[in-house]
Amino acid sequence: MAVKDRIPPVERKPEERAKDFEEVSLGYTEELAILEAKRCLQCKVPTCVSGCPVGIDIPGFIKEISKRNFEKSYRILKSYNSLPAVCGRVCPQEVQCEGVCVLNKAGKPISIGNLERFVADWAMQNNLEDKITIERKINKKIAVIGSGPAGLTNAAEMAKRGYVVDLYEVFHTPGGVLVYGIPEFRLPKAIVNKEVAFLEKLGVNIKLDIPVGFAVHPMELLETYDAIFIGVGAGTPKFMGIDGTELNGVYSANEFLTRINLMKAYKFPEADTPVKFAKNVVVIGGGNTAMDAARSALRLGANVTVVYRRSKVEMPARKAEIEHAKEEGIKFQTLTQPVRYIGNNGRLVAIECIKMKLGEPDSSGRRRPIPIEGSNFVIKADMAIEAIGTQANKLLLSQFEGLELNKWGYIKADDYGKTSLPKVFAGGDIVTGSATVILAMGAGKKAANAMEKFLY
Query: What does the binding site for another protein look like in residue numbers (CB under 8 A)?
Result: 170-172, 208-211, 214-216, 235-237, 239, 241, 245-246, 248, 251-252, 254-255, 258-259, 263-264, 267-274, 276, 345-346, 393, 395
**Helix (H) and strand (E) counts for the chain?**
17, 18
Evaluate whether 389 touches 235 at the Cβ level (below 8 Å): no
Residue 404 Cβ, how far from another protein at the closest point, in Å? Answer: 22
Minimal distance, residue 395 CB to another protein, in Å: 6
Q: Facing residues of 354 across strands?
A: 337
Task: Please state the φ and ψ torsions of residue 273, each to the nearest 5 degrees.
Answer: -80, 125
Q: 25: helix, coil or strand?
A: strand
Q: Nearer to another protein by C-beta: 193 or 273?
A: 273
Q: Give least dist CB 163 to another protein, A.
A: 23
Nearest distance from residue 218's CB to another protein, in Å?
13
- Rounded least distance, CB 390 to another protein, Å: 9
Q: CA-based angle 452:402:228, to the nearest 5?
A: 25
Rounded Cα–Cα distance for residues 298 and 19 (Å): 8
In this structure, are residues 362 and 328 in contact, taking their beta carbons and an 8 Å threshold? no
Q: Return the number of the residue (101 or 263) whose C-beta is nearest another protein.
A: 263
Kindly give, in sequence order, each residue whose CB lies less than 8 Å from that of residue 378, ignoring residues fewer than 6 positions away: 342, 350, 351, 352, 353
Least spacing, CB of residue 17 vs another protein, in Å: 24
131 within 8 A of 424, measured Cβ to Cβ: no
Nearer to another protein among residue 104 and residue 273 (C-beta): 273
Query: Please, which residue, 69 or 245, has the CB nearer to another protein?
Result: 245
The 3 state secondary structure assigned to 94-146 is: HHCCHHHCHHHHCCCCCCHHHHHHHHHHHHHHCCCCCCCCCCCCCCCEEEEEC
CB of 424 to another protein, least distance (A): 20
CB of 246 to another protein, least distance (A): 5
Judged by CB, which is closer to another protein: 210, or 370?
A: 210
Residues 438-455, buried b or exposed e (16+ Cβ, 10 A)? bbbbbbbbbbbebbbeee
Count of CB atoms situated within 10 Å of the CB of 159: 25
From the list 435, 391, 180, 387, the residue with the least C-alpha distance to 291 is 387
Q: State which residue, 202 or 430, has the beta carbon closest to another protein.
A: 430
Closest to another protein by CB, 28 or 256: 256
What per-residue string of b and e applies to 9-40 under the rule 16 or more CB within 10 Å gives b? beeeeeeebbeebebbbebbeeebbbbbbebb
Nearer to another protein (CB atom), residue 220 or residue 414: 220
Q: Give CA–CA dist 184/126, Å, rounded.
A: 22
Identify which of residues 20 and 362 has a Cβ nearer to another protein in the complex. 20
Closest separation between CB of residue 340 and another protein, Å?
15
